[in-house]
Structure 1
């Protein structure tokens, strides 16, 4: 059997990316923790440079900002009821991004 050698940094980076995915997943039901995940992303991004984990952090950052933009738009549009469809679509899209990222992390792949 071949075993992959995992450095302490690799394990730490993997755990940190996994933590942010977990925070994002929780935020699907509560909202607020996503900001905590974003702060972690920005504080630790420089340490991730040049690793596959950098792509996960960038994926998480983009997911947060696009979800926020579309959620604000959906909130405004909810005054004319169509916003509720936008908010539902944002929720599904964000859930997809969290799940896709987690699966890629679990498979040891970088994000596009």
Structure 2
């Protein structure tokens, strides 16, 4: 069975009413994406952003774009960690440096793409 597409709103709200929670969700997603990008230069913001993304992902119980974005960040983080570990192991045979560079670029691309799609009110994919 195909996975259903998440709603295009960050959080469901009352139609026509100003939605503070949607704005707060957008701000939190922007901060988390920003910390992930900053974390590509130094590790501490990446760890903090990853903790935020994990906590927020597990706190949200309905499938919205907000939860989809946090899932996207968590997946990107863990695939990036795995790729970097493999790259560091393979630095012995030089190919590891290429793997690390590709992993870094891939993570940067995904975080930037996710943030841009979030700004348009779309899901991360």
TM-score, normalised by the number of residues in structure 2: 0.81
1:73 correspondence with 2:86: yes
Structure 2 segments unaligned to the other structure (5+ residues): 1-15
Aligned-pair CA distance for 1:6:
4.5
Please give the residue correspondences for 1:1-112 in structure 2 after superposition, counting only pairs within 5 Å.
6-45=18-57, 46-47=59-60, 49-112=62-125
Per-residue CA deviation, residues 4-37 of structure 1 (Å, 9 max, x unaligned), is: 8641111111111111100011011112211111
Alpha-carbon distance, 1:41 to partner:
1.3
Structure 1: give runs of 5+ residues left out of the alignment: none
Q: Which secondary structure state, in structure 1, belongs to the residue aligned with residue 77 of structure 2?
A: helix
- Tell me which moved more, 29-38 or 97-106: 29-38
User: 1:59 touches 1:111 (CA, 8 Å); kept in 2?
Assistant: yes
How many corresponding residue pairs?
A: 109
Q: Which has the higher helix share?
A: 1
The runs of 4+ residues in structure 1 deviating greater than 4 Å are none
TM-score, length-scaled by structure 1: 0.89
